[in-house]
Structure 1
Amino acid sequence: MKYASATYVEETRIGFVFLRTHTWQHHVLRVAINDLKRLVGEPLPRGGTLLDVGCGQGRSFRLLRDAFAPQRLIGLDADPHSIALSRAEAEREGIDATLLLGDCAGIDLPDASVDVLFCHQTFHHLVEQERALDEFWRVLKPGGLLLFAESTKAYIDSWVIRWFFRHPMHVQKSADEYLAMLRGRGFVFAGTNVSLPYLWWSRAKDFGLLERWGIKAPPPPGKREETLVNVAARKPVADA
Structure 2
Amino acid sequence: MTSPATHWVKESPFGIWFLNTDMWQQRVLKRALDELDSLLPADRPGYAAILDIGCGRGHAFRMLDQRFHPAGICAIEIDEALIGDAVRQAEHCSSPVTVTVGNAEALPYPDQAFDMVFCHQSFHHIVQHEKAIAEFYRVLKPGGTLLFAESCRKFIHSFLIRLLFRHPMHVQKTSDEYIALIRQAGFKVDRNAISTPYLWWSRPDVGALEWFGFGVPENREETLLNLVAVKGL
TM-score (norm 1): 0.93
Letter in 1 for 2:208: L
Counterpart of 1:208?
207
Equivalent residues of 2:69, 2:95 under 8 A apart: no
CA distance in 1, matches of 2:136, 2:99: 17
Provide closer, same or farther for how the CA distance between residues 119 and 235 of structure 1 changes in structure 2, counting only shifts above 3 A: same
Counterpart of 1:218?
216
CA shift for structure 1 position 90: 1.4
Counterpart of 2:182?
182
SS at match of 1:106: coil
CA distance in 1, matches of 2:20, 2:45: 27
Equivalent residues of 1:5, 1:102 under 8 A apart: no
CA distance in 1, matches of 2:45, 2:163: 39
Aligned counterpart for 2:228 among listed residues 221, 224, 232: 232
CA distance in 1, matches of 2:169, 2:192: 30
Equivalent residues of 2:65, 2:94 under 8 A apart: no
Equivalent residues of 1:37, 1:44 under 8 A apart: no
CA distance in 2, matches of 1:169, 1:181: 17
SS at match of 1:57: coil
Counterpart of 2:68?
68
1:43 equivalent to 2:43? Answer yes
Q: What are structure 1's unaligned runs of at least 5 residues? A: none
Equivalent residues of 1:5, 1:78 under 8 A apart: no
Cα deviation, 1:76-134, whole Å, max 9, x if unaligned, reads 01111112110011124565210011000111111000000001111111001111111
CA distance in 2, matches of 1:11, 1:19: 10
Equivalent pairs: percent with the same residue?
Answer: 44
Matches within 5 A, 1:140-219: 140-203=140-203, 205-214=204-213, 216-219=214-217
CA shift for structure 1 position 5: 3.9
CA shift for structure 1 position 64: 0.9
Equivalent residues of 2:77, 2:101 under 8 A apart: yes
Counterpart of 1:121?
121
Q: What are structure 2's unaligned runs of at least 5 residues? A: none
CA RMSD, 1 decimal: 1.4
Letter in 2 for 1:229: L
TM-score (norm 2): 0.96
SS at match of 1:108: coil
Matches within 5 A, 1:24-35: 24-35=24-35
CA distance in 2, matches of 1:128, 1:82: 22
What is the aligned residue count? Answer: 233
CA shift for structure 1 position 226: 0.3
1:77 equivalent to 2:77? Answer yes
Letter in 1 for 2:38: R
